[in-house]
Chain A
Amino acid sequence: MSDWVEACAAGDIDEEDVMRFDHGGRTFAIYRSPDDDYFATDGLCTHEKVHLADGLVMDDIIECPKHNGRFNYKTGDARGAPVCVNLRTYPVRVDAGKVLIQVG
């Protein structure tokens, strides 16, 4: 599979934070966890299609900026009302200081 795409430099995202990444007409959210690992999910909340990159990362949770719905960004699990549908997650690797995600 060659659908790995470069999303940003590793240093572009602060620790315990999230960044928006648009590619091929789609939008993703890239996370840097407090342990300095990187993760990626769909960029829009499954509740009302709001950009999660404007939300708050706390430990392994992303909280949506619109209605405070929470997801585990490592697994995509929805953590209760008002989000009921899980987020899709994507494989991520860091290569030579670049964050790559497999968007397939």
Chain B
Amino acid sequence: MNEIYVDLAVIGGGPAGLASAISAKESGVEKVVVIDRNSWLGGILPQCIHDGFGVEEVGKSLTGPEYAEMYIKKAEEKGIKFMKETMVLSFNKKLQILAVNKKGLYTINSKSIVLATGCREKTRWHALIPGTRPSGIYTAGVAQSFINLYNIMPGKKVVILGSGDVGLIMARRFTLEGAEVAGVVEILPYASGLPRNVVQCLEDYEIPLFLNHTITLIEGKERIEAVTISKVDENMNVIEGSEKRIECDTLLLSLGLIPENEIAKTARIEIDDLTGGAVVNQDFETSIPNTFAVGNCLQVYDTVDVLSIDAKTAGKYAGEKLVYGGKEKFNCIKVVPGNGIRYVVPQKIDRTGKVIISLRVRKPGENLTLVIKAKNKEIFNKKMPWVNPANMVRMEFNVSEEIFSYESIEVELK
């Protein structure tokens, strides 16, 4: 067993981990280490070779690898240490991390931890589809890594189930590589990916989007041969007689992403069932003091830009807390999602001043108002010309001392 002592350990070297490590270092923390199980840094970004990254943050449209490179360079310049090809197995409330790599097992004793373990894709488990279980069924991200990182082509005639962003992007990618994309099948009445991706990845290539449809049968004894798609009614029940058979040799699943928190669970961090990520305060501190959660393991962000901005905030706060000690705190109040809201982050607030609240609405709508209430009293509102579950809503809210006389505040959509 190897023993290492650090000030701040970041688990996960994707954009969130790198951004928070850099900010922590800039706040004056001495020994910062980023641990990642991959042989590369940048997390999922090296396989996202399309552009569109960084527009909001740096005003330029970069590819995933370029965006990652920007952070990797900066992290190297700042003297951050990296442990690559190192898998974190667990950690505990004393902030000791157990990790393993080809040189052996490590205990990494840290004073502060940032969790930046990213997300994983929903699998076939999340959409029970009747039929056979042949080869040729991939999650969109796995297909993306095969094509973009390993130069391997999964198939030539593709149907995509789910209209998440990764699936939309892969519809275009497969088309560009000469495959035929027979359609994207979405059970909801609207696409779950970003509107700009629907235009740039489907409409520009005339790929059909079947809304209110789902796949009701998979055929093929060995390799997939066809799927049957069916229309659903407003309660998502299959409408008999609406079946349509589409031949294909590949089915991609783009059913959405889930925060990856198996490591967080080893330390019994409190998890929010609604986000799938840790319960955090406005500064991204979790239920374990001096342990923070950032990036897609906290909540699934729309774009990497906003994710990095939040991760920097968290890194800065984690750093300052280590260097200067914590700020004055109030007793924690809860932030709960009310009518029309699927989730809110942070789930608790324990200081005054400016905080940013991120949330997702339940369904699309126009001309609505977001309201924050404390015991039925409205304390904040924001007009929303339109809302869409695919677009995360962010609002700045100034926390005054008086709200700490309540137990909780509620966010709702009117």
Q: Is the pairing of A and B real?
A: no
On A, residues with C-beta under 8 Å from B are none
On B, residues with C-beta under 8 Å from A are none
